[in-house]
Amino acid sequence: MVALLAGVAALTSCKKGAQLYDVAISAYYPEGYGENYASDVDIVVKNTISGQEFNLVTSPLGTVTIQLEEGMYKISATKETDDFYLNGITENLTVQPTGVNSWEVHLVATSKAGGLVLKEIYYTGSKTEGGSSYYSDQFHEIYNNSDELVYLDGICIGLTYPIGSTPTEFVKDDGSLMDRIPCNFQTLMFPGTGQQYPLEPRTSVVLAMDAIDHKTDPVGNPLSPVNLAGAQFEAFIEAAGKDTDAPQATNMIVIYTTSTTMHDWLHSVNGQGVILFTLPTGLDWQAFVANPDNFMTKPGSTAATQYLMVHKDWVIDGVECNRTEEDKRFKRLPVSVDAGMVWSLATYNSKSVRRKVEKILDGKVIYKDSNNSFNDFINDQDPTPFVHPTTVDN
The residue type found at 32 is G
The residue type found at 306 is Q
Compute the C-alpha angle 14/19/22, nearest 5°.
Answer: 95
22/96 Cα distance (integer angstroms): 9
pLDDT tens across 133-169, in order?
999 999 999 999 998 999 999 999 999 999 877 899 9
Confidence of residue 15 (pLDDT cuts 50, 70, 90): low
Share of the chain above pLDDT 90, in %: 81
Q: How many Cα atoms occupy the beta-carbon half-sphere of 370 within 13 Å?
A: 24
Q: How many Cα atoms occupy the beta-carbon half-sphere of 272 within 13 Å?
A: 25
Across 10-19, 21-30, 91-100, 234-243, which has the greatest mean pLDDT? 21-30
Bond from prior residue into 162 cis (ω within 30 degrees of 0): yes
Phi, psi of 292 (to 5 degrees): -65, -20
Does 7 have pLDDT greater than 70?
no
Q: What pLDDT score was predicted for residue 21?
A: 95
Q: Look up the pTM and report it.
A: 0.87
Q: What is the largest CA-CA distance in the chain?
A: 69
Write down the H helix ranges in the chain: 285-290, 373-376
Domains and CATH numbers, the chain: 2-110 (2.60.40.1120), 116-381 (no CATH)
Residue 351: is it exposed, middle or buried by C-beta count within 10 angstroms (0-12/13-18/19+)? buried
